[in-house]
Amino acid sequence: MRDRFHAELANVSLAEAMHGLSDPLRLRIVALLAERGETECSVIYNDLGISKSNASHHFRVLRECGLIWRSHQGQQQSARLRADEFEERFPGLLPAVVKNMELVKHVGEGGDGEQ
């Protein structure tokens, strides 16, 4: 049965994937999920200091480009990266993005960004 809520990665173009990664806030969500694994959506938007409606928009974009999987358990929703599936479709893209986010984080902490 086809899932209309989540993107079929085989149908996601590179341009769509790059669009999902083109926003700084979405990059922060991706980096957070890469670091923590599956996380409740409310924890994500609280930690990032954004509204639920703003977070919902960005979750939708990330879901539609195949980057995240959202799950519902009662009233709670969580998100996780589709890292393995995304890697199979776009080899090297997600690890490069996450590594870049780590370098930016280190620069922001006063380091030189080198590892």
Express each pLDDT in 14-66 by its tens digit: 999 999 999 999 999 999 999 999 999 999 999 999 999 999 999 999 999 99
pLDDT (0 to 100) of residue 2: 44
Q: Which residue has the higher pLDDT, 111 or 101?
A: 101
The Cα 30–Cα 101 span in angstroms is: 9
Is the domain covering 13-102 a CATH 1.10.10.10 domain? yes
Q: Give pLDDT tens digits for 65-101.
A: 999 999 988 889 999 999 999 999 999 999 998 888 7
Dihedral class, residue 49 (left if φ above 0, else alpha if ψ from -120 to 50, else beta): left
Looking only at the bridges linking them, the beta strands covering 39-40 and 76-81 are: antiparallel
User: Under 8 Å CB-to-CB from 115, ≥6 apart: which residues?
Assistant: 102, 103, 106
Give the predicted TM-score (pTM) of the model: 0.81
- What letter does residue 78 receive in the DSSP assignment? E
